[in-house]
Chain A
Amino acid sequence: NAGVTQTPKFQVLKTGQSMTLQCAQDMNHEYMSWYRQDPGMGLRLIHYSVGAGITDQGEVPNGYNVSRSTTEDFPLRLLSAAPSQTSVYFCASSYSPSQRRQETQYFGPGTRLLVL
């Protein structure tokens, strides 16, 4: 199993540009999520999904869109990049929290985004 994969590893954007960060998992996990991590801060939840076709907002959703058309993929779209979106982005997946299994989240390697 590849686990959780993310592309690209690193990206530089200009203010106003749009892009999509890709995330895929091969563990048949229902729950997927996107976090951003800024220096000195913990992980902050952007959006999450509990299954194909179901998404919801996290703590910091503004400026980001998501969709979940398949169980495996959960892309994150930046609509119009701003310098404040410079961060490291992590995708994570787990079994559905509603199943009350041990709530282990598996994280991808991250995408480092710089917005100029």
Chain B
Amino acid sequence: GQSLEQPSEVTAVEGAIVQINCTYQTSGFYGLSWYQQHDGGAPTFLSYNALDGLEETGRFSSFLSRSDSYGYLLLQELQMKDSASYFCAVRGSGTYKYIFGTGTRLKVLA
């Protein structure tokens, strides 16, 4: 089967850097996506890694290593508004089906 594992919760202070990991067990996939979801809201797209390496978008960076079956989302200069849940997702190779991880709840403390 295919699964994506994330830590359930991460806590950090305002201004700090936090890394949210995503490890996966899947035979193949097209790329790793990250989504942010605030309480009561809809998921919104943050980042996508089609290839191994680092992708940077402002304060957010995402990394993928297919050989290690591992990716992460890096949030820098944390702000209170970054308190949310973060989900990694993949589309299985040869399919149009997306699989999401169970999500990591990030708490940013003042």
Hey, which bits of chain A sit against chain B, CB under 8 A?
31, 33, 35, 40-45, 48, 50, 56, 58-59, 90, 92, 97-98, 100, 102-110
Residue on A nearest B2 in the bound complex, by CB: A59
Chain B residues bordering chain A, tally (CB within 8 A): 24
Take A102-B48, A103-B30, A103-B31 as given contacts and tell me if A43 and B43 are in contact as well, using a CB distance cutoff of 8 Å.
yes
Find B97's partner among A45, A98, A102, A104 (CB 8 Å cutoff): A45
Which residues of B line the A interface, CB within 8 A? 4, 8, 30-31, 33, 35, 41-45, 48, 50, 87, 89, 91, 96-103
- From A42, which residue of chain B is reached at the shortest CB distance? B100
> In chain A, what residue has the closest Cβ to B100?
A42
A40 with B96: CB separation less than 8 A: no
Contact A45 B98 (CB under 8 A): yes
Bound complex: CA of A90 vs CA of B102, how far in Å? 15
